[in-house]
Structure 1
């Protein structure tokens, strides 16, 4: 069997933040499992953050190719308009049937055709967002002798909240056509898988979770000796609005007279976090570390006693499971999720006992006190290796490999 694969992802290092971790991790471990892996992405674009260190331990045998693009982020980079933010570039996307990255598709297709011919590639795997990336895979399948697999990290805003919009019928048709054309479909969680299955056959869709690099368990995980430390990793935005958590934290501090440290790593977008913390009298307990290189961020998280997962309770996030959860799992620390009791996160926690989930203020206070008392007794639970291992990128790459191979036969 020709085990060669072209991974196409708009987001890839040196771009940083969460979206790059999935193609990066799966490419690395597919290579270790004997696949000839090639990566196709875009040339430099204007983006929130970059992290070149992500490529430090990426296999040198994997070639990374970069195509041009006429999307706004690429054009802004070329024009050196450094004052333009990714948010302003993305603003019109909600009015489009596709997205603002559509201008990359012809370039990715043309480059992909040349790579398929040159390296005798048998499989193409496109990962979204942006949704338009799947057009490149669809076109490559039509014009080359390859199998195409579409990966969904997010639900493309086509689930329930948009059903009443005039974009829903058009997006629904395009989604159905894409799923019909694909040889296989992968989703990041069971809820998203079930949603996609409703548009195509169940045998065509499988779950490949996000994951963690097994090498991160070798980080120094010794927690601070004198202060109970909580940590959050990832972007803080309306999607990860901490809801009742700041107020609960303030009440817990006041009522129980607890001393603690809260570390926030990651970019803050569109939320007045510092103002809210100051109003609640928490600012002296908080370290706002900002966006850090991936390794440095993991070291911050590894030194904490309790890791926080935050997700908005808005309906449009019901199919989302933040990718950072899986790095938390890899670190083996207790996880406290502040999220809706309905949706993909709640479903995941019910199936995999990796931590506690709550949403109401009184529940949050109760859980904080529980973990604090466990810390005082030096008896904080640690996730057993047997529960961590299935979510390593190596295991997820095995799942993806088996699924693709079954479709190549």
Structure 2
């Protein structure tokens, strides 16, 4: 069986979409002739942990974990945060209009100036050393696959290709220098990072991303030609995750949101619309129940104390993945939040596809972009601009009345949905590995001749 070295910071026991994407690839690659060897970190400062995901790693898959110096531990000390408070790129302020303290500004300036490509760059020497050891001990490794962010993973993979000649496939789960969460770097730092990204993109044998928009933007930014080098493998769902699910039902009009809430994934406009409806419509106030499952940042928590809606809100802390699915299956309406930030139109989270698999209606509060287009294309529910309180309120009232009359349902295109099966998506990745391997063999034969 051919071997592939997977380099990923996010991997179980880490929870969240980045970890799950890589986990599912590792889980199914053996079915398509590729033996995954995973290089990741140990004792990482993960913002979400889900130890239940460890049970999905096939026993045949070798996992190698190395030390990483985690800068967010220092960040907590500098900013006065609790040492057990989750911190990641989504909760670190990116501008000075969000009311952060002076020491938070200083910590962010330090991060934006010195950490290239990201705050996990300290892992680079440890990852590179271990990767070379793995390759030398396993002659069958014929492709390197890295998944980012953090983009330190791509940096390490590119250096490996330079040293060993093994072809490299780069996976962009999010944009890099074009991301909506990209830090405000000094001009010289940004220029250096963009040069690094461009160089790495040119070195990669294939560049994979979750949607075409990300790839198109990259090509246009760096004037790179379109071709077979650029491949889309979206996020998806694993049917095995949905076996033996016992939904958590409620007699209320239950609206479920799963995932993190923070300064970016912020429900304030949605909650304001619900608050207004609760004041204006007593039956809605009586029947509606809002369930938020997952991690809530401290600056979001005060929103739930609004007296108009406080009695309608039920907060559930982060749960193991399969437990979380019990809530989504029992929902009358699933809430999807896509923030209106610059370049947020490319966001296409794993949550969308797991929502899709439940067959429950989705209310997407999203700007025009990839997520909104998918919801409409597959007839999955309703799309409203995330900051238009009046339209959110009107749509909620319509949906509520459909629920009261027992007519709230969606009829998605089942054949279209099957394309997002994780096993099918892994098959596509395996075909990419086969292509780059074949090209590498031909190139080596040409050099020898």
TM-score (structure 2 length as normaliser): 0.82
Q: Which residue of 2 aligns with 1:154?
A: 174
Aligned counterparts of 1:333 and 1:221: Cα–Cα separation in 2:
15
Q: Which moved more, 1:186-195 or 1:351-360?
A: 351-360
Q: CA deviation at 1:32?
A: 2.9
1:168 pairs with 190, 197, 212, which one?
A: 190
Aligned counterparts of 1:183 and 1:315: Cα–Cα separation in 2:
29
Aligned counterparts of 1:109 and 1:178: Cα–Cα separation in 2:
16
| Count of aligned positions | 403
Q: Which residue of 2 aligns with 1:265?
A: 293
Higher alpha-carbon Rg: 2
Aligned counterparts of 1:383 and 1:58: Cα–Cα separation in 2:
31
Aligned counterparts of 1:358 and 1:254: Cα–Cα separation in 2:
21
Q: Mapping of 1:216-255 within 5 angstroms?
A: 216-220=241-245, 222=247, 224=249, 226-255=251-280
Q: Which residue of 1 aligns with 2:99?
A: none
Q: Which residue of 1 aligns with 2:201?
A: 179
Aligned counterparts of 1:163 and 1:72: Cα–Cα separation in 2:
18
Q: Mapping of 1:78-89 within 5 angstroms?
A: 83=83, 85=85, 87=87
Q: Which moved more, 1:257-266 or 1:275-284?
A: 275-284
Q: CA deviation at 1:390?
A: 1.3
Q: Mapping of 1:8-407 within 5 angstroms?
A: 8-72=7-71, 83=83, 85=85, 87=87, 91=108, 92-95=110-113, 96-119=115-138, 120-158=140-178, 166=187, 167-198=189-220, 199=222, 200-203=224-227, 204-220=229-245, 222=247, 224=249, 226-256=251-281, 257-258=283-284, 259-273=287-301, 275-341=302-368, 343-359=369-385, 360-379=388-407, 380-407=409-436
Q: CA deviation at 1:65?
A: 0.9
Q: Which residue of 1 aligns with 2:4?
A: 5
Q: CA RMSD in A?
A: 2.7
SS in 2 for 1:186: strand
Aligned counterparts of 1:356 and 1:260: Cα–Cα separation in 2:
18
Are residues 358 and 165 of structure 1, via their aligned partners in 2, closer, same or farther at CA, if it must alter by over 3 Å? Answer: farther
Counterpart contact for 1:243–1:312, Cα < 8 Å: no
Aligned counterparts of 2:165 and 2:340: Cα–Cα separation in 1:
44
Are residues 286 and 219 of structure 1, via their aligned partners in 2, closer, same or farther at CA, if it must alter by over 3 Å? Answer: farther
Q: CA deviation at 1:401?
A: 1.8
Gaps of 5+ in 2: 93-107, 439-449
SS in 2 for 1:391: coil
